[in-house]
Amino acid sequence: MAEEKYVYEFGVRTDGNAKMRELLGGKGANLAEMARIGLPVPPGFTITTAVCTLFSTTGRLPEAVEKQKYAALKHVEEQVGRKFGDADNPLLFSVRSGARESMPGMMDTILNLGLNDRTVRGLADATRNPRFAYDSYRRFIQMYGDVVMEVHAKDDHSADPFEEILDAAKKKAAVQFDNQLNAEQLQDVIGHYKEVIRKATGRDFPQDVNEQLLGAIGAVFRSWNNERAILYRQKYAIPADWGTAVNVQSMVFGNMGKDSATGVAFTRDPANGENVFYGEYLIDAQGEDVVAGIRTPNPIADLERDMPTVFAELTNVRQKLERHFCDMQDFEFTVQQNKLYMLQTRNGKRTGFAAVRIALEMEKEGLIDKKTAIKRIPAESISSLLVPIFDDEGKKKAKLIARGLPAGPGAASGKVCFSAQKAEELHSRGERALLCRAETSPEDIRGMLASEGILTSRGGVSSHAALVARQMGKVCVVGAATLEIDYGSRTMKVGDLHIKEGDELSIDGTAGEVFLGAVGTVPSEVNQVLAGTLAAEKSSIYASYACLMGWCDECRKLRVYINADSPRQAEAGLCYGGEGIGLTRTEHMFFEGNRIDFMREMILADTEENRERAVAKLLPLQRKDFIGIFMALHGKPATIRFLDPPLHEFVPHDEATQRSLAQKVGIPLEKVKARVHALQEFNPMLGHRGCRLGISYPEVSRMQARAIFEAVVYCKSNGVPVHPEIMIPLVGFVKELRHQVNIVHEIAAMVKDESGVNFDYMVGTMLELPRACLRAGEIAEIAEFCSFGSNDLTQTTLGMSRDDMGSFLGRYNSLEIFATNPFATIDKEGVGELMQMAVERARKTRKDIILGICGEHGGDPASVKFCHSLGLTYVSCSPNRVPVAKLAAAQAALEDSRSR
């Protein structure tokens, strides 16, 4: 058997291509592809993701890797005409991670590898630039010390030891920037760096270049499992077993003087999607300087002035990349002594706004087809078109205190927090936090997640803050340079304005503006158009929304229903194109006005007769509700669920309300208390609720059925079409369902008889218990439709109460016990299998049974796709999730080979 190939080369000889991202990671695959299409890529090689998995398990690299790596290295030496570790003109390498999906800033990188006390002199001689050589060596030791030898700040409050030394040197030399230190001063810094390493680790910084390379490769593989990488994977549902590749690439230098530069660019604006060349660069700098946000880089347009030839070449590259990859690209380049090198390209992360715009415009431009456009927009993105925006009037009145770069569109207000911890703290108290930092770093991720918006005083649109905000869909303004943040006193100065931690600010991430105080918001443009307060032709955002939704409606197979408990909610969902109601929780209606009193009277009744009397008072109110809903739906299906929650939720628990209730109903307080006490349950989720209530108190089911059918009669008599579907909750045994269905049929017959009006209706059930899924075949003999109650089904299948899991969820997340949060995305392996069994069994009994889902998963894109794969008829979700669900449904249909 041939030896497995673990190392893939790129350069003159290129083994890989863009399709091999599973094996080579995104970066490695695209380096290979760029080399293939003739872009100037410094040669190197990629160690595959398969090695990462082996390394994680055994802690060692397979032997074959060593041999293949050696061969590849020799090829690179031949191409560049220099040797690794050569004392005269050494070949240097960068070592970078590269996972299948980009995980920016999550894993470690080492540059300038191959320098040591000997080769640094060779580099100095060969480049005739000792300052450059020693600066490169200094950077290398710093990165290697941090990443491989794990020399870090003692704690969160201490400074990084290397930065400390560098700052001291700058102070001593009385200069502001690193590149102002001369060779001797840098040598001094290097000496201190080595000492710090020796002190912290008890070992010397390694002089053997092969040892350096091995160490760096190992460290990159190890960084796949560092805490922030794990957290990132959780958020983006990236499986831990994908692993990362390692890219070893010959170094080129953007920091060899004024004729050198480094930059990051996007083929279009990743924040708003506009078709402009977008990016930034720094003259005489290495790549990390741009992303780290230490020096604020120049906008890419300025490069035309600084390096006109290179700019022209780059404009050409921009076009070539988009035409070749047919997607917006985010690429890194370095200019070494006026020669352009491409270091990376990938599909650019973009905001939801940008995702929609780019996809639609590329389709118009003929770069992609409609299907590709739909598939390319993350379903979640569409919600960014629907979130409230700042009120123009409010903005005019508010004090504009600073401007920065718009890096994440939207409107956010919150209390200023100068640390990620503080933001998390506020968030956990239910307050809105606005994270304000000079710059952000991967350590701030949790705090960024917890914030409404992110504001930085330094860094450009490709800084860490901008990058992460883009991906998280956070409102973000970066590089608001007039802000002077003082972490020590936890205050911020803007001109002569002093802002304390906790003060309120607002940021407009679309315009790049910062306001004092909380600025009022208005509905999104889309919602304004839907509400008729804005003319459709005045909003390009609405136009994008409408176009995309139109496309989705053409190709999706799943119907999208709404969970709505009132005519108002129903209308909100219908606006977005909801095709019916998948869930009306009748109990929500019981909390309005004085209805709760009748409900309580019903619960307190100790005879069926008294209960009937109380229930009778609820009848006209419920009927009115249903009329409202039927009117709003005008013939679209209306799925109404019978009373579901335990009665305990309806009774008062404080003595004052109990006393007033006792007076109202005319029974002793003690009796009220006793009844409230009797209703307490150990595990109410598993208690007397759902159809169990309707079975214990059939008069309640009778009342609800009557209210529904009388509403139907009213609507039909007024010429409004109605399509009612009655849904029995929490069925586990077919006899439960039969009992309730009999009541429904009996009341329907009575109402038809009384009114002389004939009408159609359906009766079905929820599948929300494991037993119901197992017995779906039998249940489908009676049920005309079934809807998965995926919230309860998840709780029972996992034996895990969503309300109680907070106490261990953090721990579970950090241990990666869940592949994804099972209450956000359907747990396919567990709950999903039960759903699949239920679908098969129900369909076996009743071939064309209507099957849907009405848990919160109905609005989650991954779950919607799973529902499509199960062949459900519809998903039902909150009104504002309808567009997301439609987009996900369309994508599922397009990805499904059966439908093509």
Which residues carry out catalysis?
464, 854
d(CA 771, CA 751): 34
Our finding on whether 241 is near its own copies (CB under 8 A) is no
From the list 602, 831, 849, 850, which residue makes contact with its own copies (rule: CB under 8 A)? 831
Q: Is 496 helix (H, G, I), strand (E, B) or coil?
A: coil
Q: Among 49-57, 188-196, 446-454, 802-810, which window interacts with its own copies (CB under 8 A)?
A: 802-810
Contact 205, 144 (CB under 8 A): yes
Q: Of the two residues 48 and 797, which places its CB atom closer to its own copies in the complex?
A: 797
Angle at which helix 655-665 crosses helix 595-604, to 10 degrees, equals 80
How long, in residues, is the chain? 900
Q: How far apart are CA 707 and CA 640, in angstroms?
A: 11
Sheet holding 339-347, edge to edge: 298-299, 278-283, 261-266, 329-336, 339-347
Question: Which residues touch 534 (CB under 8 Å, ≥6 apart)?
Answer: 525, 528, 542
The smaller minimum CB distance to its own copies, of residues 160 and 612, is found at 612
End-to-end Cα separation, the chain, in angstroms: 39
Q: Residue 795 interacts with its own copies (CB under 8 A)?
A: yes
Looking at the Cβ atoms of 571 and 778, the one nearer to its own copies is 778
Shortest distance (Å) from residue 43 CB to its own copies: 41
Closest CB to its own copies among 478 and 767?
767
Binding of its own copies by 470 (CB under 8 A): no
Is residue 804 within the footprint of its own copies (CB under 8 A)? Answer: yes
Interaction of residue 827 with its own copies, rule CB under 8 A:
yes
Residues 6+ apart with CB under 8 A from 863: 790, 825, 826, 853, 857, 875
Q: Does residue 811 belong to the site contacting its own copies (CB under 8 A)?
A: yes
Taking the least distance from each CB to its own copies, the nearer of 564 and 643 is: 643
Name the minimum Å distance from CB 871 to its own copies: 20
In the block, which residue shows the tokens 């810094």? 189
Interface with its own copies, residue 233, by CB under 8 A: no
Between 746 and 775, how does the x/- string for binding to its own copies read (CB under 8 A)?
----------------------xxxx--xx
Binding status of residue 792 toward its own copies by CB under 8 A = yes
Of 611 and 881, the one with the shorter C-beta distance to its own copies is 611
Task: Answer yes or no whether residue 797 interacts with its own copies by CB under 8 A.
Answer: yes
Q: Tell me which of 537, 609, 753, 829 binds its own copies, using CB under 8 A.
A: 829
Contact region for its own copies (CB under 8 A) — 354-362, 475-483, 654-662, 688-696? 688-696
Contact call for residue 787 and its own copies (CB under 8 A): no
Verify binding: residue 733, its own copies, rule CB under 8 A: yes
- Residue ranges in 344-403 that form contacts with its own copies under rule CB under 8 A: none
657 binds its own copies (CB under 8 A): no
Among 57, 58, 807, 897, binds its own copies (CB under 8 A): 807
- What's the alpha-carbon Rg for the chain, to the nearest Å? 32
**Cβ proximity of 872 and 556 under 8 Å:** no
Binds its own copies (CB under 8 A): choice among 313, 501, 503, 681: 681
Residue 262 or 701: which CB sits closer to its own copies?
Answer: 701
Out of 305, 366, 682, 847, the only residue in the binding site for its own copies (CB under 8 A) is 682
Closer to its own copies by Cβ: residue 592 or 804: 804
| Half-sphere exposure of residue 632: CA atoms within 13 angstroms, side-chain side | 25
| Burial letters 205-228, b for 16+ CB under 10 A, else e | bbeebeebbbbbbbbbbbbbbeeb
Q: Which of 18, 526, 730, 853 binds its own copies (CB under 8 A)?
A: 730
Gap between the Cα atoms of 811 and 802, Å rounded: 15
Q: Is 486 in the site for its own copies (CB under 8 A)?
A: no
Q: Please state, in angstroms and rounded to a whole number, the distance separating the CA atoms of residues 509 and 492.
A: 20
C-beta of 666 vs 799, nearer to its own copies:
799
- Contacting its own copies (CB under 8 A), which of 171, 803, 848, 898? 803
User: Residue 692 or residue 843: which is nearer to its own copies going by CB?
Assistant: 692
- Which one of 13, 687, 750, 757 is in contact with its own copies (CB under 8 A)? 687
Question: Does 796 help bind its own copies (rule: CB under 8 A)?
Answer: yes
Give ∠ CA 445-446-447 in degrees, rounded to 5.
90
From the list 684, 742, 757, 869, which residue makes contact with its own copies (rule: CB under 8 A)? 684
Query: Which residue, chain included where needed, has tokens 């209703």?
Result: 679
Q: Does 309 bind its own copies (CB under 8 A)?
A: no
Question: What is the rounded CA–CA span in Å between residue 602 and residue 606?
Answer: 9
Interstrand relation of 637-641 and 581-585 (parallel, antiparallel or unpaired): parallel
Contact 783, 849 (CB under 8 A): yes
Smallest gap from Cβ 688 to its own copies, in A, equals 4
Minimal distance, residue 59 CB to its own copies, in Å: 16
Q: Does 818 engage in binding with its own copies (CB under 8 A)?
A: yes
Q: Does 815 bind its own copies (CB under 8 A)?
A: yes
Report the candidate in 798, 791, 773, 792 with the shortest Cα–Cα distance to residue 851: 773
How many other β-carbons are positioned within 10 Å of the β-carbon of residue 777? Answer: 17
- Binding of its own copies at residue 696 (CB under 8 A)? yes
Per rule CB under 8 A, count of chain residues that contact its own copies: 48
CB neighbour class for 81 (10 Å; exposed up to 12, middle 13-18, buried from 19): exposed
Q: Which stretch binds its own copies (CB under 8 A): 198-206, 306-314, 363-371, 800-808?
A: 800-808
Residue 499 CB burial class (10 angstroms; 0-12, 13-18, ≥19): buried
What is the rounded CA–CA span in Å between residue 626 and residue 638? Answer: 9
Which of 674, 815 has the CB closer to its own copies?
815
* Neighbour-count burial for 253-270, b at 16+ CB within 10 Å, e otherwise: bbbbbeebbbbbbbbbbb
CB of 230 to its own copies, least distance (A): 13
Q: How far apart are CA 792 and CA 768, in angstroms?
A: 5
Q: How near is the Cβ of 208 to its own copies at its closest, in Å?
A: 35
- Return residues touching its own copies (CB under 8 A): 681-688, 692, 695-696, 730, 732-733, 735-736, 739, 768-771, 774-775, 792, 795-801, 803-805, 807-808, 811-812, 815-818, 827, 829-831, 833-834
